[in-house]
């Protein structure tokens, strides 16, 4: 029987072997077994591992990835559409953070909290529209539009 051992597959992807065993327990992988019962990972298994890794990096949970890998999952489109919406929210958060950082970089005001234009970048937090979390901001009304880039700051 051809294919890689669990150790070889783990090395290929920079993983610990227990991760591949866990993914198998979760139903994400189904490697063949040789006559001695050892796992053998073929090219199809390697593609599944790559898909799992790429999708974990994109923020999908193992439950969401299981749906993605299940061609018969009835809620596949719903899960993927929800993830696209989450990616859009994260992209808006990153765009807002970038605009805020670029403004602070160009602002002549040493204390950015005194800059009226900089305050526009935190207006949603000040107004209570966004709930501040230690990890990220979750706007309740959707992404907060960023103001046009400033070339100079009034303060």
| 3-class DSSP string for 80-115 | HHHHHHHHHHHHHHHHHHHHHHHHHHHCCCCCHHHC
pLDDT of the residue at 132: 53
pLDDT of the residue at 72: 85
Nearest CA-CA partner of 102 in 47, 152, 51 = 152
Which residues on adjacent β-strands are paired with residue 33? Answer: 39
Please answer whether residues 52 and 16 qualify as being in contact, where contact means their C-beta atoms are separated by less than 8 angstroms: no
pLDDT of the residue at 42: 96
In this prediction, the residues of the chain whose per-residue pLDDT falls under 50 are 134-152, 155
- For the stretch 138-153, pLDDT in tens is 444 444 444 444 444 5
Nearest CA-CA partner of 58 in 84, 28, 29, 81 = 84
Question: If you search the block for the tokens 């900089």, which residue do you land on?
Answer: 118
**Distance between CA 44 and CA 37 in Å, rounded?**
19
Looking at the whole model, is its pTM more than 0.75? no
> Which residues does 19 contact at the CB level (< 8 Å), separation at least 6?
10
pLDDT of the residue at 146: 43
Please answer whether residues 6 and 17 qualify as being in contact, where contact means their C-beta atoms are separated by less than 8 angstroms: yes
pLDDT of the residue at 142: 45
Domains for the chain: give ranges and CATH numbers: 6-69 (1.10.1660.10), 81-139 (no CATH)
* Ramachandran region, residue 4 (left: φ > 0; alpha: ψ -120 to 50; beta: rest): beta
pLDDT of the residue at 73: 87
Distances in whole angstroms, Cα of residue 123 to Cα of each of 28, 80, 102, 134, 139: 43, 31, 17, 18, 11
pLDDT of the residue at 131: 62
């Amino acid at each position: 029987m051809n294919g890689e051992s669990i150790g070889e597959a783990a090395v290929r992807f920079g993983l610990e072997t227990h991760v591949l065993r866990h993914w198998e327990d979760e139903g994400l992988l189904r490697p063949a077994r040789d006559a001695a019962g050892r796992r053998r990972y073929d090219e199809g298994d390697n593609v599944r591992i790559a898909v799992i890794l790429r999708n974990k990096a994109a923020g999908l949970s193992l439950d969401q990835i299981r749906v993605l890998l299940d061609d018969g999952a009835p809620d596949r489109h719903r899960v993927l559409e929800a993830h696209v919406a989450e990616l859009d929210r994260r992209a808006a958060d990153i765009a807002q953070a970038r605009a805020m950082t670029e403004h602070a970089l160009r602002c002549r005001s040493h204390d950015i909290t005194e800059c009226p234009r900089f305050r526009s970048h935190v207006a949603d937090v000040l107004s209570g529209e966004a709930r501040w979390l230690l990890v990220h901001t979750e706007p309740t009304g959707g992404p907060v539009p960023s103001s046009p880039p400033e070339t100079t700051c009034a303060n």
